[in-house]
């Protein structure tokens, strides 16, 4: 596997989501959960989507129950929660494992590419892929979506 574009997900409403469809656009991949102390970051992820989406940024949320069982709900419940509480309009995948041997292939690839230390340690870990699908940034949960580190990296990725 050469890039993030080599992977596929299923959307939260059960449609195929081929990462190749994002070729030419940077992607901020975030494993999300509805019952986490970091859940309010949905608001800033939505703001990032609204601000930089028109310029090409894709914010992609990946619901996961891997950390503290903080995403126990079904896909329809997760989608409704995100829309009602945070006005989320960026794409969400179906619920995924993001750590361990049965993690989604993209998360396994990230760990192989960047080392085991790059695997998410908690909900709302963020990864930035450039327009070619190359991993160009990784931030732990405590670094907010609108932090200068992330917005700066997003602007660089958009610039090409």
Note if 31 is an active site residue.
no
Give strand pairing partners of 17.
9
User: Which of the following is catalytic: 55, 85, 112, 123?
Assistant: 85
Q: Cβ distance 109 to 7 under 8 Å?
A: yes
Residue 96 DSSP class? -
- The per-residue b/e assignment along 2-32, b for 16 or more CB within 10 angstroms, e otherwise, is ebbbebebeebeeeebebeebeebbbbbbbb
Residue 100 DSSP class? S
Burial class (CB in 10 A: 0-12, 13-18, 19+), 112: exposed
Enzyme catalytic residues: 85
């Amino acid at each position: 596997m050469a890039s993030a574009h080599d992977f596929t997900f299923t959307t939260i409403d059960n449609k195929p989501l081929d990462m190749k469809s994002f070729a030419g656009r940077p992607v901020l991949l975030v494993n999300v959960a509805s019952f986490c102390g970091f859940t309010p970051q949905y608001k800033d992820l939505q703001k990032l989507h609204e601000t930089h989406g028109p310029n090409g940024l894709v914010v992609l949320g990946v619901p996961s129950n891997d950390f503290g069982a903080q995403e126990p709900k079904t896909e329809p419940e997760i989608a409704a929660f995100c829309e009602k509480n945070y006005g989320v309009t960026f794409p969400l995948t179906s619920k995924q494992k993001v750590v361990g041997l049965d993690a989604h292939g993209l998360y396994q690839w990230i760990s192989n590419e960047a080392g085991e230390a790059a695997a998410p340690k908690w909900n709302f870990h963020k990864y930035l892929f450039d327009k070619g699908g190359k991993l160009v940034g990784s931030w732990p949960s405590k670094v907010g979506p609108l932090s200068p580190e992330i917005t700066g990296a997003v602007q660089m990725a958009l610039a090409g």
